Structure 1
Amino acid sequence: MPSPSSLSRSLLPWLCVLATGAALAAPVEKIQVNPPPTKLQYTSALSSYQGYTDQAVQSWREANDRVGRIGGWRAYAKEAATGQSASDTPPAANPHAGHHEGGKK
């Protein structure tokens, strides 16, 4: 016949397993989840797409002169950033407009 201490040592792991199972089987409080919206709306990313349109052909000299008048590549960069088209009036006088900025110091 096994001794009482060896019997309790062999039953102890099983009692721990039963206690853990009972703790895990305890009912969990239900969390209220907001219901999903009932009205879905879809907007296509292509709804504002503008197809390619031909531009009027002009002489390259006139195009280069216009670029010089409006301020060069900076005018086009500003046009792309702001969405407003560059005007044909020259920018404020800048004595360094033709130089590369950020050179050696």
Structure 2
Amino acid sequence: MPLHARIVSMVLLSAIPLPAAVAQPVAPAATHRSAFDGYNRFAEQPVAPWRTSNELVARIGGWKAYAREAAAAHEGAAAPAGAPSAPAGEPGAASPAAAGHAGHHGGPKP
């Protein structure tokens, strides 16, 4: 088919109206999920006397016990609340400093 015949056919075909289903695509239904779905309201929590709270903290090992809990939760393994462990800087402490320089960078350097 010659080029001019192709052009004429394209012009004639473009003048033919398309069916409504083809001309107007249907958009999916809009949905909305609020950012507040599943929100838990503030609830008062019981407050213990400060002396009792301080005695509990001293009994479980002070602020270091809370630091161990946070580190264990960060690593994915929960440490028992009253589990004894060696404080940092003492023999048997599980810290990078206990392994020397190799503990900081994943092994000895050449």
TM-score by length of 1: 0.37
Task: Flag the structure with more relative contact order, 1 or 2, with Cα contacts below 8 A and sequence separation at least 6.
Answer: 1
Larger radius of gyration between Structure 1 and Structure 2:
1
